Structure 1
Amino acid sequence: MHDVGGAGRRDVIVEAAAVEFDRDGYATASIAGIARAAGVSQGSLHRSFPTKHAVALAVIDEQNARTFAAMSAGDPSPIGTLVRASRGIADLLMRDVVVRAGIRISLEHGVLAQQTASFYEQWIAGVVDVFRLAIASGEVSTDLTPEALGGTVVPYFTGVQLVSNVRSGRADLLPVVATMWRVLVHAVVDRAHRERLLRVVDDVFA
């Protein structure tokens, strides 16, 4: 075993915990198993995280930071920004164990509900802001409010990726998220912008 110090030890433990949570879930994963996977003693782990709950919250916080960073995907079009952000998050779900683990445990365990609710409220608020821009620019034309759109699209994406995980281990994640966007473009995008944004979807998920 090796005990690295400070922030380095914390990062090692978070990554190791993510592997355990992604594979086994919150209830089955153990502090002993996390310490073993991290290559640190249980005493060293407890100096950074006094409980398994604290480790889980750290994984969720890191997952939030990594997924929120995807929203910085630049595009002159508001809907294009959301399309590119969803591709970035899909890529993270396929290759980043911290993101997969954070989402898994945040949805499966009741004691983490407050943290999960806060994460989704932030996500929805960010997407609502983008839909406000899309409506103001004329890109989106609908009777639905930005709040209704954001409050629906975030759960839509969440459900799509969860079902993809169950059905194929997310092997079909990119095509099913692309289909989600084609449905949304046809449903709410103004006709004048529809073909352009369908091409964006095709390009982003090619």
Structure 2
Amino acid sequence: MNSLRLGRREILQKCLALGSLTILSAAFPSELIAAWEEREKLARKPTPWNELGPFYKKSAPHTASLRAPGDPGIPLSVSGQVLDVRGDIVPEAKLEIWQTDHLGHYDLDGYRYRATLISDAGGKYSFDSVMPGHYPDRVCQHIHYLVTAPGHKTITTQLYFATDPVFEGDPGRNFSREPLLASAELVRPVVLRGDPKNVFADVNFELVMERL
């Protein structure tokens, strides 16, 4: 039997004609179907899981300033937005973040380079830090994230940097050099600004949560 492959619009129109879709609105059906299609374009894949690691500590301070004045290393600003898979904003999500200093050392006694953030009404978050260093047990520079929000599945993941020398400028091809990476999705572009004597790095990292 030949199967008829219908697009989403044709399926919705057929459902409407057969009575399996009812529209309770003053808008024309074609307008609502178009709005449905636009909404589906906003759908996002959930942020991939990545190892929690052994250096997580609860109760990190609520601060967006991980970098103290005079800290060595390349200053780093990370910003992003927390959304769900339908593209809806997730406000008041709790983001726990931890990383090494520029030499690859975790603070195991205190809370340097550890923070708790809360996404704002627009789902946005940001923090200032330094570019983390490499250390013997891990191949790539990274920042850990643990993200929770009521009604959503927890995100355990890590942010990686496209400028990491390990990737040799091509994370799409070389991401597998980091054993914990299954794809290049968690490797984000880096924007450098400033001048040769004062270089700053900016990274955007969007987080997408699944609903329970």
Give the TM-score taking structure 1 as reference length: 0.24
Q: Give the structure with the larger helix fraction.
A: 1
* Higher RCO (C-alpha 8 Å, min separation 6): 2
Give the TM-score taking structure 2 as reference length: 0.24
Q: Give the structure with the larger strand fraction.
A: 2
Larger Rg: 1 or 2? 2
